[in-house]
Structure 1
């Protein structure tokens, strides 16, 4: 049995949601908006890109590692939606490189007049231990680089809010797998990230690493939103669960069990992407919240239960220390 909230009841609800529940197709206009979607050449990000273009966005930035694959995705979106090719730009970003993240964010600041949505969809899932930069790979990609990009682009989101009297969105694609881990690392005396990056202590739990990084996202989104609200909710920060979908995310997890689960339960990438759009167009009530099937839902017990607030603050403090070491004082951008 999985850890965390992974009870038979929870698993039954998950199966029911996969088979019988999902967001309706989005209809809210993105007219005049500039939207950035990471990991948007395939899967959920690609389908979300088609939606925002079809719903009238003025500029879409396809943010991907491979410009060649991004250009191919652009051609497909143009063909499918009939949009003007000038609406879509393909920009490179590699979340395994902090320099690449900084270069991308510098370009955002320099070249874009506004950013209405930063939809952080790119992620990696694996059961193998790999080291990238100064962390285990999933920690680097799904947490450190993901939030580094968010903090670097936040000034442009705030500027957009002020300049155009709008409510920009900073949306993270998380996962309902965050319910299935106990997050024992939260109590590590040497620090949460130090424990996550200790191979000798983590390798036995490597199968929990992807859901753990998604759990961390939920914690950090809640803390960011709480701290931003102390000043003003000029930017709506939220996270969304697309559910188990047919996508390339599980390409490194392609065992028999995963293939069977996807065959029986997985939504299409288009169906899953509706959850991304629902969050990227959500109202003030979604600020700091975890969304599932387009609605605000309560996250895992480890988040909202006893000790959750303390873990949330500890995680945020540790993450800000790491981000400030990469880009001095970037944490002040909130």
Structure 2
């Protein structure tokens, strides 16, 4: 009932917080929620907005559309990043590290697919939604922290776009997989792709919780947000059932994008929190996430992720301090 109530009766607040003088990063910014959130942030006065996109041509088209609709040019920059590739994420983050400041980042890019395919040795949606999303978050943390030091009036924010469908995940898929959960669910003989997006978002929620527990909110406010079911390009590779659900239940893309902007507008109350409809709602987290079993799973996948990411960029886990 909570899901239906939210979809049909709740309208997240229209964004009004000023981003004047700030530099903001949005991944998946050329379509859907990312595009509309970027439009809001440009409208609200950001000095520089980096559109992290896989398709640069589509990103340039989005940039022109945003400039035309907001009347602001010279703000948006289109940078390529493919979250299915370690090398692409590393190159992108190394480029980010060269800019003078980063006040906020919305890690929005994600994949929902019923098709099994490997990327960097893991099932592709696990690579995109979990491993490389956390990789990127960890890689940009030093600049977010440095921005706080260089510009004391700002409070950097790092928002991960998760989903309420984390509560729909079949946790039996990960229950008996020992200490290598990410690797086990990337086995094509075991993968349950019809529920893979749900599992990926559950794992992301657990990992963002752990990351936020290790980083002081006084340095960087780390939050995770649920935009609700929205019209977007997310399910372009998903099955018919997902598409039909969107047709019937989805809220508008612009309405959902307000929750993304809320995620980088929150104060300390948002650190480590789960936000839905633009508000902190920790009790909306699934019973599994709030359980002892969930805590144990969180520790296992954090350790597994740490090993993976240290192999990609040695020393990276020191950023989570």
The TM-score normalised by the length of structure 1 is: 0.92
CA distance in 1 between counterparts of 2:136 and 2:47 reads 22
CA distance in 2 between counterparts of 1:188 and 1:21 reads 39
Q: Does 1:13 align with 2:41?
A: no
Aligned to 2:258: 274
Q: Any gaps of 5 or more consecutive residues in structure 2?
A: none
Q: CA deviation at 1:264?
A: 2.0
Aligned to 2:146: 159
Q: Does 1:124 align with 2:123?
A: no
From 47, 52, 76, the counterpart of 2:65:
76
Q: Deviations over 1:47-105 (max 9, x none)?
A: 0000000011010001101111111000000000001x211111111111111111111
CA distance in 2 between counterparts of 1:251 and 1:44 reads 14
Aligned to 2:204: 217
User: Do the aligned partners of 1:182 and 1:302 also contact (CA within 8 Å) in 2?
Assistant: no
Q: Does 1:200 align with 2:189?
A: yes
Q: Deviations over 1:250-305 (max 9, x none)?
A: 111251x3333222211111000001000111110110111101111121111112
Secondary structure of 2:223's partner?
strand
CA distance in 2 between counterparts of 1:58 and 1:190 reads 44
Q: CA deviation at 1:189?
A: 2.1
CA distance in 2 between counterparts of 1:192 and 1:51 reads 38
The number of residues matched between the two structures is: 316
Aligned to 1:315: 301
User: Do the aligned partners of 1:34 and 1:114 also contact (CA within 8 Å) in 2?
Assistant: yes
User: Do the aligned partners of 1:96 and 1:133 also contact (CA within 8 Å) in 2?
Assistant: yes
Aligned to 1:226: 213
Aligned to 2:42: 53
Secondary structure of 1:30's partner?
coil
Aligned to 1:238: 223
Q: Any gaps of 5 or more consecutive residues in structure 1?
A: 1-11
Q: CA deviation at 1:308?
A: 2.1
